[in-house]
Amino acid sequence: MTEAMRALTKGPMLRRLIFFLLVSLTTLLALGLLVSVFQTGGFSPMELLLLLLYTILMAWISISFWTALMGFFTLLFGRDRWAISQRSASSDSAALPRTAILMPIYNEDSERVFAGLHAIHQSLAETGQLENFDFFILSDTRDPDVWVEEELRWQDMVQALDGKGRIFYRNRPENTERKSGNLEDFCVRWGSQYRYMIVLDADSIMQGSTLVEMTRLMECHPQVALLQTPPVPVNRESLFARILQFAGSIYGRMFTAGLNYWQLGESNYWGHNAIIRVQPFMDHCGLPRLPGREPFGGSILSHDFVEAALLRRAGWEVWLAYDLIGSYEEIPPTLIDYAKRDRRWCQGNLQHLRLALAHGFNGLSRLHFLMGVMSYLASPLWLLFLIATGVEAFIQTRQETIYFFGENWIPVWPVSFAVEMTTVLLVTLTMLFLPKLLALLLLLKDSRLRRDYGGMFAATLSVILETVFSVLTAPVLMLFQTKFVVAILLRRAVGWPPQQRGDHMTSFKEAALAHGGHTLTGIVVGVLSYYYVPTFFWWFTPVLLGLLLSIPVSMLSSSIALGRKAKELGLFLTPEETEPPPVLCYLEEHLQENEPVLPVLWDKPTSRFLQALTDPYVNALHLSLLPETESPGKRRRHYLEGLIHQLEEEGPGGLSATQKRDLISDPDTLLRLHALFWSRPPINAGMLP
């Protein structure tokens, strides 16, 4: 083994040894303080439960704390010699291989999807490397109107950018295995033509220079199969989203630097804004169906963690390029939408519990699986810990204090453990909130970055307000996630519905339906604790306050007006708002372009579904994009014949979305309906609303 290889082996091992030693020592120290409180007179079952829960939760907090601390020192000194981007000797003049940029979509807002792709294309053209990249819009859309809309916007994009042979669109007949099946279909059909594929999400946006640099890094490191960039949240205007954007920006870079510190070449994959070496992905990342039925069996929902683990198992490296800027995403605009996204992710992450015990994965891959599980299991564990703490406090208040034992005439005063308990609380709070202070301290090092966050005073005030907001919403998210976990454990599977990504206000009705149970829980628990355990009540007030205020907090935080007002006051600013990068400016420009170019046959507006049947331009475009299929069988032909008669008699309103899709998915039926429409006067066609 060469000296360089020995160094590469020694470095990660030493880093991980230091990291996990610090995590273990911190957990044991905090646990020791709690044990010293309980051990007088032995341990009761409730105390043992509290110790077990606290150990698990403290270990989870310690991992996050030491990750942030390692990231702080990495950014403070400005260099990590093990970072992949700092071990490269890439040349700007080196030729790049052909790379595919993939945008998997499912019933998304077509305007935003194609505006984002147009912006990326424009940014990439400025690098002079556009000819090395092809774009693929991989649609799993089921809604027939959205499907046709995607085709029209794709055609406009191809014409506007002279993208024939470079910008491709296809809609899968069946969306089997969701996003992972969508990517698999691409690999089977076109994967052999590309060395790399860059996977985006529907709300992803990336600078062209970032895409070029990702490809160059992969070329410099042939042992790397996957390179993940940290996407920064941008572009939302609601107060809720702006707070999360600020937190993700100011804290995120420290945490990602810390993750890279101890993960190095065994990092994780987050499902988007990453570049993948196609051949290893095709060779090793075929996902099996888990035995049993959903929610723990069936298709693997959170495929990204698993694909990264499969690549590492095959000997490939997976890296997090923490210092590579120019990678962005958009986040849910309201607290309720954020919780809905969590519900989808929760089931996929809990599936990883069985994969953590599967054969063949290395220790760090198993840790990634367990961390994914803990990101949702922590909420019910915290809830159980709070309940157990309240029960233990109630038991203590019901115990009669005895001062004299036997014939002793000197009283035996009860031992006070106020110092130990206060220390336990302070240690926990320090580990939770110190990273926020460290993130602020990093601004002192960089005057430009400090200005981009609105100045030191505004950034400090923003961190304080963000902390208050986090304290108020944490109990709500804890109950949401606990409900999700319990539902999954009761084998209630969840589908994969499209997200509502655009800014919108939360109505009182929506907030009351979502948070009414949280408010009622806060009232009941508050009354019981105040009446039976008044000392515990005052410690519990932050949790109770978050629950009691859940409805107004949810409504107010969804406000776009408050979000804009905060921006005017210089609060929750991010560098991407202060000095928007060109690609985000391009996105804003393209979002101003509304409808795709389309000949108008009559003044009355029609659905895209009807246009696919009646408009010659839309009909021909849609027909040309349908995949070649075998002629339908007799039963299928009878079914389609019945739908035609139903459309004639009841109009399009009488058909479901699935039935409409079936009609425009069959070329012969599509041609027949088009001819049928033009052979009759429109007033008698039975197809117009």
**CA separation for the pair 689, 602 (Å, rounded):** 13
Q: Is the pLDDT of residue 562 over 50?
A: yes
The band of 594, judged by pLDDT with boundaries at 50, 70 and 90, is: low
Mean pLDDT of 543-555: 96
The number of angstroms, rounded, from the C-alpha of 146 to the middle of its chain's C-alpha atoms is 23
Q: Which 8-state DSSP code applies to residue 682?
A: G
Contact criterion met (CB below 8 Å) for 190 and 100: yes
Q: Which 8-state DSSP code applies to residue 35?
A: H
**CA separation for the pair 320, 274 (Å, rounded):** 9
Mean pLDDT of 166-170: 97
**CA separation for the pair 677, 410 (Å, rounded):** 104
State the maximum Cα–Cα separation within the chain, in Å, rounded to a whole number: 111
Q: Which residues have a Cβ under 8 Å from the Cβ of 666 and sit 6 or more positions away? A: 629, 632, 640
Tens digit of each residue's pLDDT (9 = 90 or more) over 359-411: 889 999 999 999 999 999 999 999 999 898 888 877 777 665 444 445 554 44
Q: Can you give the three-state secondary structure of 344-364, one letter per residue? A: HHHHHHHHHHHHCCCCCCCHH
The number of angstroms, rounded, from the C-alpha of 348 to the middle of its chain's C-alpha atoms is 12
Q: Give the H or E element holding residue 233.
A: strand 232-233
Mean pLDDT of 114-121: 97
Give the up-direction half-sphere exposure of residue 333: CA atoms within 13 A in the CB hemisphere.
20
Token digits of residue 502: 């655009």
Mean pLDDT of 498-518: 84
Token digits of residue 50: 């509290």
Q: Can you give the three-state secondary structure of 154-176, one letter per residue? A: HHHHHHHHCCCCCEEEEECCCCC
Q: Can you give the three-state secondary structure of 258-325, one letter per residue? A: HHHHHHCCECCCCCCCEEEEHHHHHHHCCCCCECCCCCCCECCCCHHHHHHHHHHHCCCEEEECCCCC
**CA separation for the pair 234, 584 (Å, rounded):** 9
DSSP string, 498-554: PP--S--PPPHHHHHHHHHHHHHHHHHHHHHHHHH-HHHHHHHHHHHHHHHTHHHHH
Q: Burial, 110: exposed, middle or buried (Cβ in 10 Å; 0-12, 13-18, 19+)?
A: buried
**CA separation for the pair 266, 365 (Å, rounded):** 8
User: Rounded to the nearest 5°, which phi and psi values hold at 327?
Assistant: -120, 125
Q: Where are the alpha helices (DSSP H) in 96-207?
A: 110-125, 144-161, 178-190
Q: Is the pLDDT of residue 417 over 50?
A: no
Q: Is the pLDDT of residue 67 over 70?
A: yes
First to last CA, the chain: 75
Indicate the domain borders of the chain: 608-684
The band of 458, judged by pLDDT with boundaries at 50, 70 and 90, is: very high
Q: Is the pLDDT of residue 598 over 60?
A: no
Mean pLDDT of 481-490: 90
Q: What is the pLDDT of residue 80?
A: 82
Beta bridge pairs of residue 233: 329
Burial 224-235 (b: 16+ CB within 10 A, else e): bbbbbbbbbbbb
Q: Which amino acid would we find at residue 388?
A: A
**CA separation for the pair 102, 170 (Å, rounded):** 11
Q: Is the pLDDT of residue 301 over 90?
A: no
Token digits of residue 407: 């014939």
Q: What is the pLDDT of residue 685?
A: 47
**CA separation for the pair 582, 253 (Å, rounded):** 21
Q: How far is CA 409 from CA 402, 403, 405, 617, in A?
A: 12, 9, 8, 103
Q: What is the pLDDT of residue 294?
A: 76
Number of other CB atoms surrounding residue 428 within 10 Å? 15
**CA separation for the pair 667, 625 (Å, rounded):** 10
The band of 251, judged by pLDDT with boundaries at 50, 70 and 90, is: very high
Q: Is the pTM of this model over 0.85?
A: yes
What is the chain's mean pLDDT, rounded? 88
Q: What is the pLDDT of residue 410?
A: 46
Burial 443-477 (b: 16+ CB within 10 A, else e): beeeeebbbbbbeeebbebbbeebeebbebbbbbb
Q: Which residues have a Cβ under 8 Å from the Cβ of 669 and sit 6 or more positions away? A: 640, 643, 644, 663
The band of 297, judged by pLDDT with boundaries at 50, 70 and 90, is: confident
Q: Which of 118, 325, 317, 241 is nearest to 566 (CA)?
A: 241
**CA separation for the pair 221, 4 (Å, rounded):** 15
Q: Give helix then strand counts, H and E, for the chain.
A: 25, 10
Q: How far is CA 592 from CA 114, 152, 237, in A?
A: 12, 17, 17
The band of 427, judged by pLDDT with boundaries at 50, 70 and 90, is: confident
Mean pLDDT of 250-264: 95
Residue where the block lists tokens 């929902």: 301
Tens digit of each residue's pLDDT (9 = 90 or more) over 14-57: 889 999 999 999 999 988 888 877 766 667 888 889 899 999 99
